[in-house]
Amino acid sequence: MSPPARQAATLAASFLALLLLWQIASLVLQTRALPPPAIVFGVLWSGLWSGEIIHHVAITLGRVLVSFTLALLIGSAIGLAMGLMKRTDRFFDPWLTLFLNVPALVTIILCYIWFGLTEVAVIVAVAVNKIPNVAVTMREGARTLERSYLELAQIYEFGRIKTLRHVIVPQMAPYLAASGRSGLALIWKIVLVVELLGRSNGVGFQLHLFFQLFDVPSILAYTIAFVIIVQILEFGVLQPWERHAGRWRR
């Protein structure tokens, strides 16, 4: 077998093994709390056809993308400033430590109290949770910026935008990718909690509903739908971008 084919085979075997384990567990336990895969995938299938799952997943995904983008932009700006300027770093470092340690639930509740049960509250709550993590990663990245490249930009009068685009961002690419990857994983989990606490649509709201109805197949169906979406983002967007950004490396 060729190496790619072998890799694909391993991946398929891994999935099958997981499904098998799940099937056996549900057969042994015989409980409503753990339905077999066939039932869950049936619910997923009909939910997709009726458009209900797609509707709620799309809403959640929209919230994820907006807050993800905001967190990445603001976090990067803060991280860069702190990494490049010593005094800024010393001044804001305690703030960063503070925000890193505020529990997500506290931010969410406070945002709902301050901004009401609105979309703004959702976006702010999620972004505030993620910004400190991005800032810390990007600060590390900014500290590794090569001084000679910055001097090159100064001598040849690149200006701010050109320096950012051609000198800084390419050096920060691995840190951006790391922030993006951990961000995606963290943010969609936080968004679900936010939806559970104060929204009337989205995956988090649906999960809350199914929890009250004790509808485990639907809970699992939504989970699977969302995991698939995040995987598509990882393989379809993040990894191709990383390959493109790193094409100069031999």
Partner 1 sequence: MSGLSIEVSEKRFALLDGQDTTVLAGIRLNVEAGQFVSILGPSGCGKTTLLRLVAGLDTDFTGHITLPVTETGDPPKLAYVFQEPVLLPWRTVQENLHLVMTEDQIKRRMAGRLLDAVGLGEVADAFPGTLSLGMSRRVSLVRAFAVEPDILLMDEPFVSLDEETADTLRGLLTRLWSAKPTTVLFVTHDSREAIRMGQRVIELSKQKPTSVIRDLNVNLSDEERQRPQAVEVFRVRLLDY
Q: Taking the complex as a whole, how short is the minimal distance between the CB of residue 170 and partner 1, in angstroms?
A: 4
Number of Cβ within 10 Å of residue 25's Cβ equals 12
Residue 210 in the binding site for partner 1 (CB under 8 A): no
Contacts of 121 (CB under 8 A, 6+ apart): 111, 112, 114, 115, 194, 198
x/- map, 216-245, partner 1, by CB under 8 A: -----------------------------x
Contacts of 100 (CB under 8 A, 6+ apart): 132, 133, 136
User: 51 — alpha (psi -120 to 50), left (phi > 0) or beta?
Assistant: left
From the list 135-143, 164-172, 184-192, 222-230, the region that binds partner 1 by CB under 8 A is: 164-172
Do residues 188 and 60 make contact, with C-beta atoms less than 8 angstroms apart?
Answer: yes
Give me the torsion for CA of 63, 65, 69, 70, rounded to 10°. 0
Quick one: 30 or 148, whose CB is closer to partner 1?
A: 148
Q: Taking the complex as a whole, how short is the minimal distance between the CB of residue 61 and partner 1, in angstroms?
A: 31
Do residues 24 and 193 make contact, with C-beta atoms less than 8 angstroms apart?
Answer: no
Q: Which of 36, 42, 170, 174 binds partner 1 (CB under 8 A)?
A: 170
x/- map, 123-162, partner 1, by CB under 8 A: -------------------------xx-xx-xxx-x---x
Q: Which residues bind partner 1 (CB under 8 A)?
A: 148-149, 151-152, 154-156, 158, 162, 166-167, 170, 245, 248-250
